[in-house]
Amino acid sequence: MQNKTTRGARRIFLATGLALAACGAAFAQGAASFPNKPIRVIVPFTPGGGSDAAARFFGEKLSTALGQPVLVENRPGGNSGTIGTSLVKAAPADGYTLLLGSTAPLVTNVVMVKELPYDAVKDFKPIAGLTKNMTAIVVPANSPHQNLAALVAASKKAKLNAGTASAGFHLAADWFANLAGFQYTHVPYKGLGQTLTDVAGGNLDWAIVDLAGATPLLQGNRIRALAVTDDARHPFFPAVPTVKESGYPDYVYNTWTSFHVRADTPDDVSRKLTDATMKILQSDAAKEYAQKAGTKLLPLGPAEFAKYQREEVERFQKVAESSGIKAE
Residue by residue, DSSP assigns 222-252 as SEEEEEE-SSS--TT-TTSPBTGGGT-TT--
**Weakest-pLDDT range from 16-25, 39-48, 163-172, 253-262:** 16-25
317 backbone dihedrals φ, ψ, rounded to 5°: -65, -40
Closest to 213 in 3D by CA, of 225, 231, 226, 201 = 225
pLDDT for the residue 3: 53
**Weakest-pLDDT range from 26-30, 73-77, 78-82, 114-118:** 26-30
- Predicted confidence band of residue 31 (pLDDT cuts 50, 70, 90): low
172 SS3 class? helix
What mean pLDDT do residues 29-55 have? Answer: 86
- pLDDT digit string, tens, across residues 62-113: 999 999 999 999 998 877 789 999 999 999 999 999 999 999 899 999 988 8
Amino acid at 162: A
- Predicted confidence band of residue 9 (pLDDT cuts 50, 70, 90): very low
Alpha carbon distances (Å) from 189 to 87, 120, 165:
21, 22, 5
pLDDT for the residue 198: 97
What mean pLDDT do residues 278-282 have? Answer: 98
Element housing 256 (H / E): strand 254-262
Q: Please tell me the distance from the alpha carbon of residue 295 to that of residue 298, in angstroms, as a whole number.
A: 10
Decide which of 79 and 178 is more confident.
Answer: 178
What mean pLDDT do residues 112-134 have? Answer: 94
pLDDT for the residue 28: 47
What lies within 8 Å, CB to CB, of 29 at 6+ separation is none
Left (φ > 0), alpha (ψ -120 to 50) or beta: where does 258 sit?
beta
- pLDDT digit string, tens, across residues 141-164: 999 999 999 999 999 999 999 999
Residue 56 has pLDDT above 70, yes or no: yes
pTM: 0.81
Residue 195 has pLDDT above 90, yes or no: yes
pLDDT for the residue 218: 95
- SS3 of 277-318: the string is HHHHHCCHHHHHHHHHHCCEECCCCHHHHHHHHHHHHHHHHH
Amino acid at 191: G
Residue 253 has pLDDT above 80, yes or no: yes
Residue 276 has pLDDT above 50, yes or no: yes
pLDDT for the residue 81: 86
273 SS3 class? helix
Domains observed in the chain: 36-133+254-323 (3.40.190.150), 134-246 (3.40.190.10)
- Residue 202, CB-side half-sphere exposure with 13 Å CA sphere: 5
What mean pLDDT do residues 290-302 have? Answer: 93
Amino acid at 166: S
Q: Please tell me the distance from the alpha carbon of residue 135 to that of residue 138, in angstroms, as a whole number.
A: 9
**Weakest-pLDDT range from 141-150, 205-214, 219-228:** 205-214
Alpha carbon distances (Å) from 304 to 125, 127, 311:
12, 10, 11
Mean model confidence pLDDT for the chain: 90
**Is 219 exposed, middle or buried, given 0-12, 13-18 or 19+ CB atoms closer than 10 A?**
exposed
64 SS3 class? helix
DSSP letter string over 96-153?
SEEEEEEHIIIIIHHHH-SS-SS-TTTSEEEEEEEEEEEEEEEEETT-S--SHHHHHH
* Residues 320/111, Cβ–Cβ less than 8 Å: yes
